[in-house]
Amino acid sequence: MLLALALALILSAAVACGGDDDDDDSSDDDVAADDDTSDDDTVDDDTADDDTMDDDDDDDTSTTTTTVVTTTTTTTTTTIPPVAFEVPEGCNPLATSEDCQLPYPNTYYMVEDETTPTGLRLHLESSFVDTGNNPAFDMTPLNYADGTPPSSPILIHFGKDIQRRWLLGQDEFEKSLESDFPIAVIDLMTGERHPIMIEMDANRKSLKFGRYALIIRPMVPLKMGGRYAVVLTNEVKDDKRDPLPRSAGFDYLRDGIVTTSPEVEGLRDRYEEIFDILEEKAGFVRQDLLLAFEIQVASVQYVLGPISKMRQEVFDQADTGGGFDYVIDEVENNPNENVARIVEGRFYVPHFLNEDNELVWDADHNPLRQDEDGEYPFTIVIPKVAEQGDSLPMAIFGHGIFGTGSGYLHHGGSTTRVIHEFAQEAGVILFATDWIGLSGADQELIFDEVVPDLNKLGIVTDRLAQSLVNNLTLIELGKQGILQDDQIRVHDGAPMFNGEDVYYYGVSLGGIQGSSLVSISRDITRGVLAVPGASWSNMLVRSIVYTPIKLVLDVKYRDPLAQQIFISGAQSLFDFSDPINLGQLILEYPYDDSPTDRIFIFQEAIGDSQVPNMVTRMLARSVGAKQLVPAVERVWGLDATFAPTTETVYTQYALPIADGKYPPEENVPPSSENGVHYNMNLLDNVADQIITLIEDGEVDQFCDGPCDPD
């Protein structure tokens, strides 16, 4: 009897120890068993414990069972019910504050859709952003997306600032790649860290305490179609070194605690897979996680498909002999010593905009060409050198923000004179139209219609996409023989256009949109993108151009957090024309008909107050450009190359900047214009670099050392 009692006590102690281990380590097995009956479209069955599943014959898998052995060798089974947990309607179960929409983007806001390349589609409600007394946001245009924009800011809200030591500025973000840094974006396919900038929203307002997002900005666009996890560990504290607010929903997932919440349980299988990947491939211990959430990036088909279809419409019309109609309105002869003729007119292009200036989509989210072609202005500048009778190259010129093609090429005063000198010296015939969406005619439209109702942002974004079609058509117009028109030609000799060489030169907006144009063109082989940028959601908020818009938005949309959510989401509308995406068509995803001998120069003005250096460098990394050295500042992620070269390059120019006029590091516009954005384009060594590329087909450096005043 004593022997039996002793054996029973030993057995009881052994089982008790096993129970302690279950509390700490094997809760995952219970979750996996429970998950076996959940949605199995994303289940990783390898996470289930086979023994647990075999022993559990009870159909009710929403409970956890524990076996207790007594000293009388009888057993009883007690049932632990799911933890009662309710996610408020419309809220994210991973939220870390009372403002429960964040974190965003993440796959919680997506639904399954087997018709998309990613198998998912965005599903946001109009209540996602609090617009106050303004019209609610119509999320329909965003909900076509099969993932998040590759460069969209990632937002988290704790209701307080995080410790400064974990914020990474524009020149510090490479630290995010260190294995022990506690904030990371992880590629779930490879386990590799992605370079990110980390900042607190600096747009502080009185009486708006705790309404500021933690913003994570990818410094290289996320891979289209990729899956990523955003990770924060418990090491991250608030600015008083206290623990940050936690997400109960996330903790239940992390700790394997079954709940009554369908929102939490609907994520469980997917997050079991994520936890495994984070531990096995990225070295994150599950219990060390403060927060982790998944991002599905939009597919190549979704992001690049629309502009690909639009460009093909242009080429199909050109190649089938249909040609493009035009009307000449004005011809000015010999306006100055550099120009033989300036021609103003209108041309007709494949049109994808309806009467509301919005793109029209079919059921598969392809842009639909409208029955009537669109009518847009063009300007042609024929240099004096053309009168010699030789055939010349043609070059598309891209104007700056809120400008026009005619304004720069014909009616721009000193700017026009500089452009005319360039045309004569380089020996090129210049063509230009308007970058509609952000041209001179659009400024009033933006303030009158878009700012009061941000649902009309498509007036900007959709027209930017159409403007790429317009410029492609303008190239075809030049190729098809408009220069042989008797009203235009300046001699009776050889054709004025040599039939082969098409170049591009654009400044500011012309550098931004031009980066997209040269990426999709089948003709442009040499191009200069002066003071360009990319990723509108990252660019606008740091540009002085945004200042007057922000003044109005701050009155109408007072909540800083709501503003950041809108800015992040709006990137999806810019994506179809944004060079952060289209620039990848140069090297990463070239078309079959893309030129193989393309050479482009991306020229940056250090301290630019209109186009932040941050986004110029993001563009250079996205394109795959090399940095021309010696450089003013070496830029992370760009290989170095020396002049002369025939590679696509990023180069820098430093001009004197008055004290106090260097742009702020934070996500706020500069307080004043410092002039470098404009003045860089007037430098002699910049002009020499452009002329050399056009004439000789190579990139050279016309500075003694780095291109700075010293």
357 and 487 co-located in one domain: yes
One DSSP character per residue, 47-109 reads GS-HHHHHH---S-TTSEEEEEE-TTS-EEEEEEPPBP--PPTT--TT-SSSSTT-SBS-GGG
Q: In this predicted structure, what is the pLDDT of residue 75?
A: 52
Give the span between the Cα atoms of 232 and 77, in whole angstroms: 38
CA neighbor of 465 nearest in space, from 336, 578, 385: 578
Q: In this predicted structure, what is the pLDDT of residue 22?
A: 40
Query: Residue 348 in contact with residue 324, Cβ under 8 Å?
Result: yes
Give the span between the Cα atoms of 505 and 525, in whole angstroms: 11
Give the span between the Cα atoms of 468 and 308, in whole angstroms: 11
- Does the N-terminal peptide bond of residue 221 adopt cis geometry, omega within 30 degrees of 0? no
Give the span between the Cα atoms of 412 and 400, in whole angstroms: 12
Query: Residue 525 in contact with residue 503, Cβ under 8 Å?
Result: yes
Query: Residue 691 in contact with residue 668, Cβ under 8 Å?
Result: no
CA neighbor of 692 nearest in space, from 425, 420, 430, 419: 425
pLDDT in tens, 533-592: 999 999 999 999 999 989 988 988 889 999 999 999 999 999 999 999 999 999 989 999
Query: Residue 648 in contact with residue 627, Cβ under 8 Å?
Result: no
Print the domain residue range for 22: 2-80
Q: What six digits make up the tokens of 142?
A: 């965003």
CA atoms within 13 Å, Cβ hemisphere of 580: 27
Give the span between the Cα atoms of 455 and 289, in whole angstroms: 37
Rg of the chain on CA atoms, in Å? 30
CA neighbor of 472 nearest in space, from 309, 690, 709: 309
Domain annotation covers residue 665: no
269 and 348 co-located in one domain: no
Domain annotation covers residue 232: yes
188 and 303 co-located in one domain: no
3-state secondary structure 681-699: HHCHHHHHHHHHHHHHCCE
Give the span between the Cα atoms of 619 and 603, in whole angstroms: 11
Give the span between the Cα atoms of 115 and 113, in whole angstroms: 5
Give the span between the Cα atoms of 695 and 699, in whole angstroms: 10
Q: Which residues pair with 330 in a beta bridge?
A: 344
pLDDT in tens, 229-251: 999 999 999 999 999 999 999 99
Query: Residue 185 in contact with residue 168, Cβ under 8 Å?
Result: no
Domain annotation covers residue 430: yes
Give the span between the Cα atoms of 475 and 432, in whole angstroms: 10
CA neighbor of 389 nearest in space, from 501, 502, 495, 484: 495
Which residues have a Cβ under 8 Å from the Cβ of 678 and sit 6 or more positions away?
Answer: none
Query: Residue 348 in contact with residue 375, Cβ under 8 Å?
Result: yes
205 and 288 co-located in one domain: yes
Domain annotation covers residue 515: no
* Alpha-carbon torsion (633, 639, 643, 647), positive or negative: negative
Give the span between the Cα atoms of 556 and 558, in whole angstroms: 6
390 and 412 co-located in one domain: yes
Residue 601: φ, ψ to 5°? -120, 125
Residue 450 DSSP code: I
Domain annotation covers residue 91: no
384 and 487 co-located in one domain: yes
274 and 417 co-located in one domain: no
Between CA 654 and CA 337, with CA 691 as vertex, the angle to 5 degrees is: 110
Amino acid letter at 169? G
Q: What six digits make up the tokens of 322?
A: 């249909």
Domain annotation covers residue 655: no
Domain annotation covers residue 648: no
146 and 211 co-located in one domain: yes
128 and 51 co-located in one domain: no
Give the span between the Cα atoms of 319 and 145, in whole angstroms: 32
- CA–centroid distance for 157 within its chain: 21
Residue ending a domain, choose from 236, 263, 298: 298
Query: Residue 344 in contact with residue 329, Cβ under 8 Å?
Result: yes
What are the average pLDDT values for consecutive 10-residue runs of the chain, which has 710 residues?
A: 36 36 39 38 38 38 39 55 91 93 95 96 89 87 96 97 96 96 98 98 86 97 98 97 97 96 96 97 97 98 97 96 93 96 98 95 94 97 95 97 96 92 97 97 89 91 98 97 93 90 98 98 98 98 94 89 94 97 95 96 97 98 97 96 97 86 94 93 94 96 84
127 and 253 co-located in one domain: yes
210 and 63 co-located in one domain: no
Domain annotation covers residue 697: no
Q: How many residues are given for the chain?
A: 710
Give the span between the Cα atoms of 118 and 294, in whole angstroms: 14
25 and 127 co-located in one domain: no
Q: What six digits make up the tokens of 369?
A: 């060409």
Q: Total domain count for the chain?
A: 3
Residue 266: φ, ψ to 5°? -65, -20
Which residues have a Cβ under 8 Å from the Cβ of 165 and sit 6 or more positions away?
Answer: none
Q: In this predicted structure, what is the pLDDT of residue 76?
A: 55
Q: What six digits make up the tokens of 24?
A: 């700490």
